[in-house]
Each structure stands twice: as C-alpha cells, then as structure tokens.
Structure 1
Amino acid sequence: MQHKFLKRSFSFLLLFFTFSICLFANEEAEYVPKLYGTFWALMPPIIAIVLALITKEAYSSLFIGIVSGGIFYAGANLEKVTLHVLNDGLITVLSDSNNVGIIIFLVILGTMVALMNKAGGSKAFGVWASKKIKTRVGAQLATIVLGCLIFIDDYFNCLTVGSVMYPITDKHNISRAKLAYLIDATAAPVCIIAPVSSWAAAVSGFVPGEDGFAVFIKAIPYNFYALFTIFMLLMIAILNVDYGPMAKHELNALKGDLFSDGRSQEKKDNKEEENTKGTVLDLVVPIIFLIIFCITGMIYTGGFFSGTGFVEAFSNSVASQGLAIGSMFALILAVIFYVARRSLTFKECMDSIPEGFQAMVPAILILTFAWSLKAMTDSLGAAPYVAGMMEHAAGGLVNMLPAIIFLVGCGLAFATGTSWGTFGILIPIVVAVFEHDPHMMIISISACMAGAVCGDHCSPISDTTIMASAGSQCNHVAHVYTQLPYALTAAAISFVSYVLIGYTKSWFIAFPVGIIGVIVVLIFAKKRTQK
C-alpha cells in the first residue's frame, strides 16, 4: 500500500514538474521585451560607439553597451539582465561554430606572423622591398595594390596585408593608423565589387526570385562608395594628402613615433635579437601556403570537391570554416618548411603558438564583445524596426530612394557592426519595391551594398574594422577616429551621386560628378592642412 502511495506521489510530482517546466519554457519563449522593435533597439551600439569615441577605450565601452542592451531587454530584473548578457550574449557567441572558426583563424594567423618574424622573413622582405620601394608614396601604393589583389575575403585581406606590409611602411615612417586605414579601405570595398569573393556569395543569397550573381555583377558600377573609396586611396597616396587626426599621426610617424603614443621607441628598446639569416622565401612561401589553402578550404565548404562548380562553391562557402581549415593546413606546412630549411627549430616553432595567440588576444576580446553587442541588438528587434522604417519610406520619394537606402544602410551597419546583416534586411525590401523596374532595382541594391560597406567601414564594432586594427597592430580606437573623416568624405560624395542617379538614371552623370568631388575635396583638404 505504501509502495503504491509513493509511486503515485512520485508520478504526480513528475507530472507537476513537467507541466511547470513546459509552462515556464513557453513563458520564456513568448517573452517579448517592452522596447522590442523600437528605436531603443539601436541604443546599445550607439552607447558603446559614443563612449568608445569619447573615452578612446574600447573594452569598457563595448561592455557597457552590452549591459545596457541587457537592461533594455529585461528591465530592472537583475537576475534576468545577468542571464541575458551571459547566456544569450557572451556564452552564445562563443559557442557559435562560425565565430569559433574566425577565432581559430586569428590565432593561427598570429602564430604564422610570429613564425615569419622569428625566422627573419619579415626583416628580409623589408630589406628587399626597400631596394624596390624607395618612397612613402610607393609604400602606400604597394599596400593598396596588395589589398586589391587579395579580394577573396575581407578577414583574410586585413590580416595578410598587414603582416606583409608593415615592415615596409615602418621603414618609410608611415604611421600604423595610416596602414590600418589602407588595409581597411581595401578590404570590404574591394570584396564588395569582386565577383569571386565571400561577399559576392553573401549578396547573391539575399536576392529572392532573381539570379543573385547576375544582379551582383550588374550592381558593381553603381557601388559608388566602394569605387570612390578606392579612387580616394590612390589620390591620398599620390597627392600626399592627410587631414583630421590622421595628419597628426603621420606627422608623429615622420618623427619616429609610428603609434603616436611613444610605443615605437619602446619597441625599439625592447626588441629581441632578430634572425639575420632569414630570406624573402621565409615570408613569401608561408603566405602562398596560406592563400592556396584558404581558397581551397572555402571552396571545400561550398561543395567543390563533391561536384559543385567553382563559382557556385564560392557562393555556398562558409568563410569562417574554410579559413580555419585552410590556415590550419598552411600552419602545418609552414612549420615543416621552417624546420626543413633549419630556419627555426621545432621548439621555436611551437613557442610561436602562444606568442601568436597573445598577439591576437585584443582582437579576439573586442570581437567577442562586438558579437555579444549584436546579440543584444537582435534580441531587441533592431532588424524589424529598420525594415518597418524602410517599407514606410518606400511609398514616398521614389527618386530619392537610392540615397535614402544608402543612408539607412550606413546607419544600420554602423550601429550593428555587420554588412551582411544589413544586406539581409534591406535587399529583399528593395527587390519587392522595384519588382517592375529592374534598372532602379539594380541601382537601389547597389546603394544598399554601398551603405552597408560604408557603415561597416566606420563602425568601431565591425569585424573588418577590428581585423584591420589587428593586422596593422594599431590601437583600435585610434584606427577608428583617424579613418572616420576619410570614410565620411567618401560617404558624403556617394550620397550626392545617389541623389543624382535617382533623378537622372544616368551613371555617366552621377559617377563623374563623384570622381570630380573626390579630387576637389582632397585638393581643398591639402591646402587647408598646409596652412
């Protein structure tokens, strides 16, 4: 009897707890914050960005932005705020396989840079390049050309170009902030107009009911921000123009302070004895390994070795996984290469792993905070809020819509730190609005892509901006506020060009006006800075 009573009691308790768990799970699943889908959804990143620009300190600014997102989500409930920030923010983003792939790629690339430096490859390349590149203009143009050639992926671009070019730019007293700008401005802007890149694949997937790749190709000439940024880079290098905070950094670099914080002399004083037996091959061969295997890794994730075509494999590729796989094989071959050449011992190669990890810790920490901040923004419904705004605007000034889309794309990418998320929100809306006007649809999709790249380029919480800082070993906030005037210049000229093309529908009017605008602004800036 007692046994039956206990059994029934246990069954009742089990049923009660099961019901309770289901009830609370449903409540949790159905929980919608009061501020969901409102302007407040954009406040956490705005708080973080403003604080970073004011305090010049990234870590605390990003963390305060994350916590503010948790407060907006959960209200005054301290427990819910804490769990949301930790579980839905930091822990979730570090559990995401794509994010982990990016972190692995960062660590491996940091290790390869440490190997190249220890083997003397970077020093040998700097000596060789100094015989070929004899001026500051030549060093900047070489950086731009290399950045344009590595168009496969923006992460890969930022870190590879920085590793290869900093010995040359250092030799010509070009500030690390300027190097970071050259890297950043040839990363996303180049990838967004390169047909074979991870960005082309992303955009192609966001065009419902259309041939995404064909739309991407047609949109390239109208991507004014990317084209004007690359043209502006060339003019800045050739005309030797610097303005805003960058002018101060370049002046300090000419005096020997590449970081504008006294670190150049400190690095000189603490410099370890370099390997003078290294050759250019000790840098070039590992970089070639990296390029070949990273491209192979990307097309592997896209199904190339299962019979999928090359272009389609790129369209289907998962960049973070492909880069992690490719860089891992490149690192293994690089170690074998150095040991076989007796450039380094096996122990020295293994000692480079923690050195590389340590060099990338700042970038990994900022990336983790940036991803967590985006998670807070997503949980507050930033995407539905912006999508609703765009649909409302679409019924108004049709001729102004390309310029409006450009501005909205800038704002959304700046606040969220993601270009691809901006594509996903805005491009389907543009396709729906201009379904019966293919020409305006192409122009507006280009405006969306240009705005997303512009916002991504300016944002302190953008992956690409963080990678550019890491690749050049530049202080992150210094990189942001020195490149901001340049990015805003290209953005303002692009906005005018989108207004013109919205009314004239003519590329032959809008594009030349933008090019002339870039030249006029730079000449004016040079005269003003000289005074």
Structure 2
Amino acid sequence: MTSPDISSILPIVFTLVLSLYTRNVVIGLFTGVITAVVMLNGFNPLTVLSELVKTHLVGTITDSYNAGVIVLMVFIGGFVALMEKSGGGPAFATNIMKWINSRARAQMAAWFGGIFIFYSDLGTPLIVGPVFRPLFDKLNISRQKLAFIIDSTASPVAILVPFIGWGIYIMGLMQKEFDSAEQSLSAWSAFIHTIPFQFYAILAIFIVPLLVWRNKDFGPMAAAEQNCLPKHVNSSDSISNGALHKKPTPKPSEEAPLIQPFTHANARASFVFIPLAVMAIVLAMMLVPMGFPFKSVPGSAFRAALSSAYFLAALSLIGLMAWYKVRSVNTSITMYLNGMSNMMQVAIILTLAWTLSSLGKELGTAQYIAEQAQRGFPYWLLPAVAFIFSGIISFATGSSWGTFAIMLPLVIPTAFAIDAPLFVSMGAVLSGGLFGDHCSPISETTILSATGSNCNQFEHFRTQLPYALLNGAVALSSFIAAGIYQHSGIFLVALTIQFLLIVYITKNKYH
C-alpha cells in the first residue's frame, strides 16, 4: 500500500485488545496475524488458513535468519535445563555461605548469587530462593525481602546479557525491523548500544545494595522486616553476638508450595564455572579470528558460534555430572531434550511476532503510524511514551517477552520515521516491559520469586511495588532526558537520583 489508512492498524489493535483481555500474548498475536491475512486475502476461511500456513508461517520459519535464531534458542533451552538440575548452583551458594554471619552479608550474598546465575531468569528464583531461604530465616530476614532480591536480579540481569535467551530473543525482533526498514544495522551492535538506556533494569539491580547499605526499608517491606525482628535486636546484629537466639519463626506461605533445588552430595560449584568457561573459550576461538568484539561479524557466524558454544558447554556439564556420579549420561540427555522442548512457546511467540511484522509491512501499518507521528509528535517524547505503553501491556499480560514482540515492531519504524533516538526508544520498550512485569501480580517472575522464597505471592507483590514504582518514576524521567540529550551517561544521573531519593525516604524510617 502506498497510502495506508487507519484500517492498517487493525491487526495491532486486535493484538493489543486480545492480549490484554485474555492475558495471553500468543492468543493476541495469533488473532492479529489472522486479521492481517483476512485483510490481504478476503474472508474465505480455507484461503485464509492456506495462505497463513504456506505463505506466511512457513515463509517466516524457513527464513535463514529466523531459523538460526530458533535453533539457537533451542540449544540455550537445553543448556539451561541442565544447569538448573545439575546441583551446581546450590553447591556454589553453599561455598559462599562460609563468610555469611550478618543480615547485610546474607542479602548481598543472595544478590550476588542472583547476578551470577544470569543464564536463566526463571531458574534463578528456584535456585537462589530455596538455597538462601533457611539462612534468611535464621537471620530474621523476611521472605518478602528474599523474594524482592531474587526478582531484582533475575530478569533485570538477564535482559542486559546479549548472548543468553533474553538477548537472542530481543535481537531477533530488532533485526527483523531493521531489515524491513532497509537499515544496515546489526542487531548485536544495536543491543549493546541499548544497554546504557535500559534504565529500569539498571535501577532494579542497584537498589538492593543501596537498601542494604542504608540498612533501612520503606513501605510494606519495612513492616515485613520489622515483624521478623525480635524487639530487642538491631538489624545490623550478627549471629556471633548471640542476639539472634530468640527470634520469631517466619510464617511460610499458604499458597506457595515449598520448593527445594536439586542437590547432590557429589555436586560441585565447578558445574557452573567449567561449562561457562567452555562457552567463553569456544566463542573466543570462533569469533576472535573474525575481529570480534572490535569488528562486526556476520550474524550467521555469530549464531553458529553461540550454538556451538552452548552445545559444547552442555556436553561438558553432562560429562562432569557423569564423572562425579550425580546423574547418568542417559538421564542428562533426557533432561537436555526436555529443556529444548520447553522453548516451544518462545519459538511460537517469535514466529507470530515476525509474521505479524511482515504482514504489517504489506498493510503499511508502520508507515501509517509513522505518518501520524510526523504530524507533530515530538521526537524526544517517543522513549517516554514507549516506556509507559510497554509498562501497561506488560502489567496487564504479565509477560515482558510478549510486550517486546508487540512494541518493538511499532517503536523501531516510528523512531526511524521521526528521527527519534533509536537506542533510547528500544531501551524504553525493554525497560517498560520489565517495569510492568515487576509491578504485575500475575507475571511469571513474580510468581516464581514468591515460590522460590516460599513467600505469599500477594505479599511479594505488595512489598515490592513501592520499590518498583520508585524505579519506574526515575526511569521515566530519565527517558524524557535521554530523548532530548541522547547521552549514554544518563544512567549515572538516574542512579544518582535513585540514591538521593532512597536516602531521603529512608532518612527517618527504620525497620
């Protein structure tokens, strides 16, 4: 279409409405795809289904770039499943517990554990939570606080790492829009440039050590912490001073089942270190000769290197578990294959998002939105608007990945059309999706963080919300500033504002 009209946005409208109504992004995306096919081919059910399958879905999956991304995601799924069930994470946590004898150290250890286990945002709560839960109980730290720390280091860390599932998924969505807009941009380079503008993720990670340093909380979290402390004990006391002998027993959640991570007497912390080292060595051997990271490497070579690295890392872990008699080779291979199959929903979301983007190009959706934006929409305001809308969608659906699939195909073409700061705008979508996810009581990470901590789901949502809203407000103001100045150092200003706000709010609010 040379002059698309308002009807071109109908697939997007249906996608948004159905996603929000059903709280299921797959249903929304599929409805949007069907709507677009009907608009292009007429309302003949047999023709619509035929065209949907043979022209659009098959065409999307057989595209070399798309197929490479899906294959890579499958390899990542298998590796993550092995890591989560190897017992390496609990073994690593047990090693670092030797120097933990205070509330502050326990919270920082859980924080470091969440950052270190970066390879799986959904695995982090089920590894870190159960491992640190007994220690938090012993030190009179609320399980709400443990759930908050886990939630602040699961998705926020994962979204900043380009070579794990989050990064590969996001780069897949980015590259599709770059190609559609005929822009010679590399998704890898774009993702790296977007990292400093992922304000919410950065703020969510750094609020934990800031609160530990202040030794104070505010809002419902302060009350939860107070309830866990004996009245005569100061929160900075340690185990060794004998003051923590009389303590209330934390009340476990009535809703969340007690989850325990897989442990084994023969499991080693090396189950984490060695596979990651293998991965790094393989990547270096395959990519450094091509000039990486100082030169851009072909996307196909990058995906092949990552797939090889994940596969060989998985093999090394299977070998380690067999050597130490933790799991047999057959059992490990079965787990690996199950992990691969667990990526099916991600592959479906990606395929539908790519298909909807291609159909939108045929309908002129992005062109129409860009034309409307050019009629007076301030370019510097796009990041802030993208952050708000992404937050709303993510909050309502509980899915940050689904939000990315909906919003990136809208924001990227608009940024090109009105000369808005591209990296800031993409960072706003990612931050908004994460912000809404943290505020949502139905998001997967909220549920898993509460489950891993054996904390009531609503209590986790209620105690985390003030912190998420504070970080969200700072992020929103930062996106307004970044939309105008577009400087990568603005995240330092955001951290400074967060620091000052925390100091001011907690000035007279003790546990």
Q: TM tier, shorter chain?
A: 0.5 to 0.7
TM-score (norm. length: structure 1): 0.62
Counterpart Cα distance in 1 of 2:467 and 2:52: 34
- 351, 360, 364: which is aligned to 2:343? 364
Equivalent positions of 1:129-528 (< 5 A) are 129-134=96-101, 137-142=104-109, 144-145=111-112, 156=119, 158=121, 165-166=128-129, 168-172=131-135, 174=143, 179-189=150-160, 224-235=199-210, 238=213, 241=217, 255=250, 257=252, 261-264=255-258, 267=259, 275-293=264-282, 295-296=283-284, 300=286, 304-305=288-289, 307-313=290-296, 316=299, 321-340=304-323, 342-344=324-326, 348-358=328-338, 363-375=342-354, 377-378=356-357, 380-381=359-360, 384-386=364-366, 388-394=368-374, 396=376, 398=378, 401-408=379-386, 411=389, 417=402, 426=411, 430=415, 433=418, 444-458=421-435, 489-500=470-481, 512=493, 515-516=496-497, 520=501
* Higher Cα Rg, which structure: 1
Residue 240 of structure 2 aligns with which residue? none
Residue 92 of structure 2 aligns with which residue? 125
Q: 2:78 touches 2:336 (CA, 8 Å); kept in 1?
A: yes
Counterpart Cα distance in 2 of 1:227 and 1:141: 16
Counterpart Cα distance in 1 of 2:19 and 2:406: 19
User: C-alpha deviations, 1:409-460, integer Å up to 9, x for none?
Assistant: 66369588375996676567646755xxxxxx7xx33421321221342577
**Structure with more helix by fraction:** 1
Counterpart Cα distance in 2 of 1:522 and 1:105: 41
Mark the runs of 5 or more structure 2 residues left unpaired by the alignment.
Answer: 137-142, 229-248, 395-400
Q: 2:155 touches 2:434 (CA, 8 Å); kept in 1?
A: yes
Q: 2:110 touches 2:128 (CA, 8 Å); kept in 1?
A: yes
Amino acid at match of 2:424: A
Q: 1:51 to 1:516 in 2, by over 3 A?
A: same
Q: 1:102 to 1:211 in 2, by over 3 A?
A: closer
1:182 CA displacement:
1.8
The number of residues matched between the two structures is 448
Amino acid at match of 2:474: I
Q: 1:261 to 1:323 in 2, by over 3 A?
A: farther
Counterpart Cα distance in 2 of 1:131 and 1:486: 30
TM-score (norm. length: structure 2): 0.64
Q: 1:144 touches 1:183 (CA, 8 Å); kept in 2?
A: no
Counterpart Cα distance in 2 of 1:379 and 1:419: 16
- 27, 43, 47: which is aligned to 1:64? 27
1:351 CA displacement:
0.9
SS in 2 for 1:186: helix
Q: 1:41 to 1:84 in 2, by over 3 A?
A: farther
Greater mean deviation of Cα atoms: 376-385 or 501-510: 501-510
Amino acid at match of 2:274: V
Counterpart Cα distance in 2 of 1:245 and 1:370: 35
Q: 2:256 touches 2:450 (CA, 8 Å); kept in 1?
A: no
Amino acid at match of 2:497: I
Q: 2:374 touches 2:417 (CA, 8 Å); kept in 1?
A: no
Amino acid at match of 2:325: S
Amino acid at match of 1:188: I
Counterpart Cα distance in 1 of 2:47 and 2:223: 47
User: C-alpha deviations, 1:324-349, integer Å up to 9, x for none?
Assistant: 32121112222333444x4346xx23
Amino acid at match of 2:91: A
SS in 2 for 1:312: coil
Residue 21 of structure 1 aligns with which residue? none
Q: 1:62 touches 1:369 (CA, 8 Å); kept in 2?
A: no
1:276 CA displacement:
1.9
Counterpart Cα distance in 2 of 1:185 and 1:386: 29
Counterpart Cα distance in 1 of 2:386 and 2:201: 17
1:162 CA displacement:
6.0
Residue 19 of structure 1 aligns with which residue? none
Q: 1:512 to 1:397 in 2, by over 3 A?
A: same
SS in 1 for 2:294: helix
Counterpart Cα distance in 2 of 1:445 and 1:45: 23
Counterpart Cα distance in 1 of 2:72 and 2:482: 41
Q: 2:216 touches 2:222 (CA, 8 Å); kept in 1?
A: no
Q: 2:382 touches 2:483 (CA, 8 Å); kept in 1?
A: no
Counterpart Cα distance in 1 of 2:102 and 2:429: 34
Q: 2:36 touches 2:359 (CA, 8 Å); kept in 1?
A: yes
